[in-house]
Amino acid sequence: GESVGLHLPTLSVQEGDNSIINCAYSNSASDYFIWYKQESGKGPQFIIDIRSNMDKRQGQRVTVLLNKTVKHLSLQIAATQPGDSAVYFCAEKRRSGAGSYQLTFGKGTKLSVIP
């Protein structure tokens, strides 16, 4: 079946280094992807999104890259800070019926920043 998955469940990085979180997707028809950050005890928070007609999108300290050839999505965080420690989820939008859409989430990657 269709799925969104993550390569690594945990990632530890040194403060100030760049972080890269990866995500593989299998639905080639997906046209929209989102990255979320979830801090302990809180709901997921939107970070950045990208549509399938783009390869790259940049935000503040974050960049999302989309490689449709290999169905791969990545989130890059520049100059990682302790406040970036959280679980990160990728999600893809998929059609689930006539005029109906769902978001399917990956299982998440836990990012730990070492001071």
Partner 1 sequence: EAQVTQNPRYLITVTGKKLTVTCSQNMNHEYMSWYRQDPGLGLRQIYYSMNVEVTDKGDVPEGYKVSRKEKRNFPLILESPSPNQTSLYFCASSFSAGGGGPYEQYFGPGTRLTVT
Binding site for partner 1 (CB under 8 A): 32, 34, 36, 42-46, 49, 89, 91, 93, 96-97, 99-108
- Closest to 33 in 3D by CA, of 78, 77, 64: 64
Question: What's the min distance (Å) between Cβ of 100 and partner 1?
Answer: 5
Do 73 and 66 touch, CB atoms closer than 8 A?
A: yes
**Closer of 19 and 104 to partner 1 (Cβ):** 104
Phi-psi sector, 22: left (phi>0), alpha (psi -120 to 50), beta: beta
Question: What's the min distance (Å) between Cβ of 15 and partner 1?
Answer: 27
SS3 24: strand
**Closer of 78 and 105 to partner 1 (Cβ):** 105
**Closer of 42 and 115 to partner 1 (Cβ):** 42
